[in-house]
Amino acid sequence: MNSLSINWFVEGNIDFEHKKYILLAYLQQVNQHFNKNKLYPDLNDLVFHYNNLLRFKQDKSDLQKAFPERLTQADMDALRLTYEKMIQDDAIMQEIEQIINFSIKKMDPALKEGKEIYDFVESRLHIEAIGVIPLYPYQGYLLLRNGDEKGTQVYEYQVTIFESKDEKYRGINTAYITSYETNFIYTPEAIRKDLIHSRREFPNPAVYHVESDIRFPLEQTLLPLAKRSLVKFISEAA
């Protein structure tokens, strides 16, 4: 994916027509992916840039607030020098404001479409615990069925907890293990038993089965949403 750089709208040649061309090319690619129900990594990237523009628009004089933690100190120093030069030039600042306003307006429909796809995919997911869930459900196996595909994908998962200054977040890491043919033999319960027998490191693993009744792009859509749904499911049950 040809992504935008972190501070694309204030770097290099600050010209509205030039930045407009860069943005529209980027959004064309994002929309092409969304039209194929491919959400990631485009949706996360789009949200990042949209929020970036809003922050800068709300407070152009506060660079630390205007740009999130993805910026390194070197990025911050370079941006600060650029900003100090720009702020003395009203014409440049007006050009930047025009770029920002145009970009926000153009990104908004794409964001809405991405959110609609996200909500639709999430509505087609069904998740359930398989077998007895141990007291520590934050590590185990995710069984994933993608619509009418003739197979169940198996991932080992581990829920991670990390904290920011004000909030605590939960994420999830997954690693692909194997797949089972979908038939009357390899039910989710049978897959659980086979995993316990073949992978002795987890004698009583937490096992969750997530399935969609419609087939979606696996890596770009279904797996990311299945992981988010699993984190939510485990958090609500804990």
What DSSP line would sit under 70-96, residue for residue? TS-HHHHHHHHHHHHHHTT-HHHHHHH
Domain-wise residue ranges, the chain: 8-122, 124-237
Per-residue pLDDT of the chain (238 residues; tens, 9 = 90+): 578 998 899 888 889 999 999 999 999 999 999 999 999 999 999 999 999 998 887 765 554 444 444 445 555 566 655 555 555 556 777 888 899 999 999 999 999 999 999 999 999 999 999 999 998 999 999 999 999 999 999 999 999 876 555 556 788 999 999 999 988 889 999 999 999 999 988 888 999 999 999 999 999 999 999 999 999 999 887 6
Q: Which of 205, 214, 216, 204 lies closest to 154, judged by CA?
A: 205
The pLDDT, as a whole number, for residue 69 is: 46
Q: Give the Cβ contact number of residue 234 at 10 Å.
A: 21
Measured in whole angstroms, how far is the alpha carbon of residue 64 from the centre of its chain? 23
DSSP the chain: --PPPTTGGGSS---HHHHHHHHHHHHHHHHHHHHTT--TTHHHHHHHHHHHHHHHHH-TT-HHHHS-TTS-HHHHHHHHHHHHHHTT-HHHHHHHHHHHHHHHHHHHHHHHHHHHHHHHHHHTEEEEE-SPPPS--SEEEEEEEETT-S-EEEEEEEEEEEE-SS-EEEEEEEEEEEEE--SSSS-HHHHHHHHHHH-TT-SS-EEEEEEESS---IIIIIHHHHHHHHHHHHHHH-
The pLDDT, as a whole number, for residue 70 is: 47
Measured in whole angstroms, how far is the alpha carbon of residue 123 from the centre of its chain? 17
* CA-angle at 41, arms to 37 and 46, nearest 5°: 95
Cα–Cα distance measured from residue 150 to residue 154, given in angstroms and rounded to the nearest whole number:
13
Task: Give the number of residues written for the chain.
Answer: 238
The pLDDT, as a whole number, for residue 64 is: 44
Measured in whole angstroms, how far is the alpha carbon of residue 157 from the centre of its chain? 17
Q: Give the Cβ contact number of residue 163 at 10 Å.
A: 8
Give this prediction's pTM. 0.82
